[in-house]
Amino acid sequence: MTHTSLASWLSYIESQHPSEIELGLDRGNLVLSRLHLSRPKQKVITVAGTNGKGSTCAMLTQYLCSQGHTVGTYTSPHFLAFNERIALNNASCDDAFICRAFEVIEAARENISLTYFEFSTLAALWIFDQSGLDYWVLEVGLGGRLDSVNMVDTDVAVVTSIALDHMDWLGDNLEVIAREKTGIARKDKLLISGVVNPPEAIAATAADIGACLKQKNIDFSFHRLSDKWSWSGHGLQYENLPIPSLPLQNAATVIAVLVYMGLIPTSADLVTLFSTAQLTGRFQQVASSPDVYIDVAHNPEAAIELAQRVSFFASKPIAVCGMLKDKDIASVVSHLSSSFSDWFCCDLGGPRGAKAQELMKNISLYAPSLSSHMYAFPSVKEAFDAAVLKAKEEQRALIVFGSFVTVSDYLALSQTKE
């Protein structure tokens, strides 16, 4: 089947499978075997975790590119354009290359039904193969063991964090979730765990697989001292590193990945990396007067990170928040209820979108004193426009957060204003 545009292709692949999510490797592996793809010249790095996957992939990609390596990076979801998911040397792939990849996957799959994510993953792998790259950096979409990214045998598996999320798919306790995410590891290959309080299942699964496990707080560690931090492990010590805009615990994991791979970075290179690394939607300042930050925080672990970030502000910021109803709204709000002076809550569209009133009900449970500082709006735009007026009047910062959908809506809004 021929499609004349990327938009047409995306509409087509969205319609090819009855389920948005269907974990399992059989369908994808069969199509992958027909593609006869090569591997990168150096290594495949696969990153799983509840939070921190995107940040870790971004920092690894930036460092590898800065050292003159060619890198293909596959991440999800995207904010404004599908092209964001497939990057070559830190630049989004163009429409034409992606359309060619979709044509190849469509021909190879024949009568095999693929999900949107499986189709996308196979297309990314084909693009990376065609590009003759040094490294592939692959972000797991959901879980690990049964995620389509795990079709590729990794050389270095990374688990950034373990927390309760996607419990309908991954299980309802940390041990089960850890086992699923650690399932990306391979025998005799590196497994870097950045999990601060690791479930026993990480070491147990690594032992079952025969992976070479290196764990935070056992094989390497990091310490923050005011506005600097240090890292130690593998007989190495890095001091006086700048605090990155991305989560510090992920920066520590990135150093471990590089060190245990044998790519020993210099202190100067790390200073440059952590002074400049950014990722869309991860506590990213996008405007001033008033200061506006966007953050995709949508689960308890990310909420804790966001609360720590805003605790350094001179005065409490204002929240513009929209969430999906299948997320743990109560826990997210419990960690953040006292972090903001006001909450401008908004409805999110679609079958998964929560209503502003649901958010406000939870905020009232944990911070009843805020009852006169909560407002409901039917959209991100209306919530943001109202919040800006108050932020300017009171000289406060604004944080737009709660979901990739919320941040995407804000970015689309800001793009139309430019």
Residue-wise pLDDT for 40-77, tens only, equals 999 999 999 988 999 999 999 999 999 999 999 999 99
Strands 43-48 and 156-159: what pairing?
parallel
At residue 98, the pLDDT reads 97
Question: Where are any strands of DSSP class E within 89-147?
Answer: 91-92, 135-139
Confidence of residue 383 (pLDDT cuts 50, 70, 90): very high
Is the CB of residue 259 less than 8 Å from the CB of residue 220? Answer: yes
Question: Of 359, 354, 391, which Cα lies nearest the Cα of 375?
Answer: 359
Measure the CA–CA gap between 143 and 205, rounded to whole angstroms: 14
At residue 350, the pLDDT reads 85
User: Global pTM?
Assistant: 0.89
At residue 66, the pLDDT reads 97
Mean confidence (pLDDT) of the chain: 92
Is the CB of residue 23 less than 8 Å from the CB of residue 142? Answer: yes
Fold of 6-276: UDP-N-acetylmuramoyl-L-alanine:D-glutamate ligase (3.40.1190)
Measure the CA–CA gap between 5 and 9, rounded to whole angstroms: 6
Q: Which letter does DSSP use for residue 328 in this model?
A: -
The mean per-residue pLDDT over the stretch 186-203 comes to 94
Measure the CA–CA gap between 98 and 332, rounded to whole angstroms: 37
At residue 351, the pLDDT reads 86
Confidence of residue 172 (pLDDT cuts 50, 70, 90): low
Cβ neighbours for 289, distance < 8 A, ≥ 6 positions apart: 392
**One-letter amino acid identity for 272?**
T
At which residue do the structure tokens 């990153």 appear?
47
Which of 230-234, 266-270, 310-314 is least confident? 310-314
Residue 417 has pLDDT above 70, yes or no: no
* Domain spans in the chain, listed from the N-terminal domain onward: 6-276, 284-417
Question: Of 269, 256, 66, which Cα lies nearest the Cα of 159?
Answer: 256
Measure the CA–CA gap between 344 and 321, rounded to whole angstroms: 6
At residue 197, the pLDDT reads 86
3-state secondary structure of 13: helix
Residue 418 has pLDDT above 60, yes or no: no
The mean per-residue pLDDT over the stretch 372-401 comes to 96
Question: Of 145, 117, 99, 82, which Cα lies nearest the Cα of 3?
Answer: 99
At residue 23, the pLDDT reads 67
Q: Does CATH number 3.90.190.20 belong to domain 284-417?
A: yes
Return the number of other C-beta atoms located less than 10 Å from residue 350's C-beta. 7
Cβ neighbours for 233, distance < 8 A, ≥ 6 positions apart: 214, 219, 220, 221, 255, 256, 259
Residue 166 has pLDDT above 60, yes or no: no
3-state secondary structure of 230: strand
At residue 17, the pLDDT reads 62
Measure the CA–CA gap between 396 and 391, rounded to whole angstroms: 5
Tens digits of residue pLDDT in 206-217: 999 999 999 999
Residue 169 has pLDDT above 60, yes or no: no
The mean per-residue pLDDT over the stretch 261-286 comes to 95
Name the token pair of 363. 């905020």
Return the number of other C-beta atoms located less than 10 Å from residue 26's C-beta. 9
Name the token pair of 351. 């079958």
Is the CB of residue 111 less than 8 Å from the CB of residue 175? Answer: no
Confidence of residue 143 (pLDDT cuts 50, 70, 90): confident
Confidence of residue 175 (pLDDT cuts 50, 70, 90): confident
Measure the CA–CA gap between 405 and 379, rounded to whole angstroms: 11
At which residue do the structure tokens 């070559």 appear?
88
| Calculated CA dihedral for residues 75, 77, 83, 85, nearest 10 degrees | 10
Tens digits of residue pLDDT in 396-416: 999 999 999 999 999 998 877
